[in-house]
Amino acid sequence: MSFAAKPRDFDAVIIGAGFAGICMLHRLRERGLSAKVFERGNGVGGTWFWNCYPGARCDVESMEYSYQFSEELQQEWEWTERFATQPEILRYLNHVVDRFDFRRDIQLNARVTSAAYDEAANRWTIRTAEGDCVSAKFCIMATGCLSSTNTPKFKGLESFAGATLHTGDWPRERVDFSGKRVGVIGTGSSGVQAIPLIAEEARHLFVFQRTPAYSIPARNHPLAPSVQQRIKADYADLRRRGAQSLLGWDARLNERSALEAGEEERQAEYEARWTTGGLFFYGAYLDLLSSKEANDTAAEFLRAKIRGIVHDPVVAEALSPRQAVGCKRLCVDTGYFETFNRRNVTLVDVRKSPIEEITEQGLRTRDKRYELDSIVFATGFDAMTGALMSIDIRGRAGISLEGKWAEGPRTYLGVGTAGFPNLFIMTGPGSPSVLSNMVPAAEQHANWISRCIDYMRVRGMERIEPAVEAENQWVSHVNDVAAATLFPSCNSWYLGANVPGKPRVFMPYLGFPAYVEKCDEVAARGYEGFTIT
């Protein structure tokens, strides 16, 4: 049985062909439902399509940063490195799309501008900037958490005579920095990955840093076939460990408190995590993200590492973060701090001397002018809500999502929002999303949404939307969980604090296993908290 009526009508429209949209399409196809995917890029991949800056790679290990919906797929695909590069991840996603013949349902170069719910017809009308207009029973937003770039509105930005680039919207062709004076603004995960490689090429690199970042060496290496074979012999075991872990990947969490351990034991634990490399550092102690005192011990360890790597003590001090470790997302790097020992690299502390304007020749801070040939904005994203807000989404009685979320996003379980029937949001605010491993998080939503549609079809039900009360309770719960951690203690994009004027609300939900349990429980109780008719 299909809900579809006419050829331009679909059972579901999915907006976005990144990790989330692709697995959603798979789940709908499997059920014989008609689906159409609109993707604004001229290729699939979403975030991994746009973020092709030098050094871009995942920082969850490749073997876990992949789909699990097909055992054949996970057995066949061979990752070449511990942390896959952006080109390899894009090759993987293109392979998936071809292998399962998804491409025929994906329309590229199609930017969705509006999605409006028609109550009488109980259908969504979706329009693109290119003139498409289709209708669907279900509208599924797979628009990504980090897909709407944030470029600060610096005075004089338009006057710059050189090239400007944003890490989140990087040109497809190789950018050659050789012989150039380059400025990078921003030292989050993207800047930390790009800076060492740009420094190797540029005549001179100026790094304009507002907040120093904690970063752990990736210790990336080729993935030995024997290691892959061992994992593939029992892939389910790795997936299970990931699903049971707070962050949705196997962080090898130490259940002890950092404060229970003696100084020597703590140093040994941190040193072991530093040596292993990558985000395993998060798992060093249970209370790292909840106790300031515990966190301070990790912070001091990481600052000592910076002092040990960076030769100039003044530069080392300027690179040393003061916020809680993990409050802003931990970065993972290859040679980041070492880069500041190069003679062609200058760190500019724009907290001490803020950027006042971009000029025709470069950039001016309060104290100095910098002549530049290129400026790289590694200034991040209007995270979690930016891509949704770029679409005019209208629910019952024409209410706009932008209006409803003016004081911050409000969802039930991150997948639905009251007043917007049959609208599903994948990895939306209020779900673990960016505080977990994005790929399993997206798959969990694809599975949950498709089972919900099954439930409705079997019962001849037509409409589902969160009840306001359930939504209010969920929003409070998400906030309560965040309030018990150190996350609200700094200005991170998790809180929307990186975008001037954005409401300060903690958006993701911490705790992948508890979240999955709650979603399963809601489903088992006939979609408790949703109005379903």
Q: Which positions touch ligand NAP (CB under 6 A)?
A: 57-59, 146, 152, 167, 185-191, 193, 210-211, 329, 332, 350, 355, 378-381, 434, 491, 493, 498
18, 45 in Cβ contact below 8 A? yes
Closest CB to ligand NAP among residues 35, 358: 358
Closest CB to ligand NAP among residues 143, 167: 167
Minimal distance, residue 358 CB to ligand NAP, in Å: 11
Minimal distance, residue 103 CB to ligand NAP, in Å: 26
Residue 334: what residue type? T
Closest CB to ligand NAP among residues 221, 459: 221
Residues 6+ apart with CB under 8 A from 320: 212, 303, 306, 307
Closest CB to ligand NAP among residues 134, 434: 434
Minimal distance, residue 164 CB to ligand NAP, in Å: 14
Q: How many Cα atoms within 13 Å fall on the side-chain side of residue 408? A: 17
Closest CB to ligand NAP among residues 85, 122: 85
- How far from each other are the two terminal CA atoms of the chain, in whole angstroms? 18
Closest CB to ligand NAP among residues 16, 188: 188
Cα 167 to the center of its chain, rounded Å? 14
Residue 444 to residue 518: CA distance in whole angstroms: 12
Minimal distance, residue 66 CB to ligand NAP, in Å: 14
336, 196 in Cβ contact below 8 A? yes
| Angle in degrees, 0-180, between the axes of helices 438-458 and 19-30, rounded to the nearest 10 | 30
Minimal distance, residue 156 CB to ligand NAP, in Å: 13
84, 221 in Cβ contact below 8 A? no
Minimal distance, residue 495 CB to ligand NAP, in Å: 11
The residue with its CB nearest to ligand NAP is: 188
Closest CB to ligand NAP among residues 336, 405: 336
Minimal distance, residue 169 CB to ligand NAP, in Å: 11
Closest CB to ligand NAP among residues 278, 511: 278
12, 33 in Cβ contact below 8 A? yes
Residue 155: what residue type? K
Residue 74 to residue 93: CA distance in whole angstroms: 12
Full 3-state SS string of 159-201: HCCCEEEEHHHCCCCCCCCECCEEEEECCCHHHHHHHHHHHHH
Residue 119 to residue 128: CA distance in whole angstroms: 21
CA-wise closest residue to 207 among 370, 403, 88: 370
Minimal distance, residue 189 CB to ligand NAP, in Å: 3
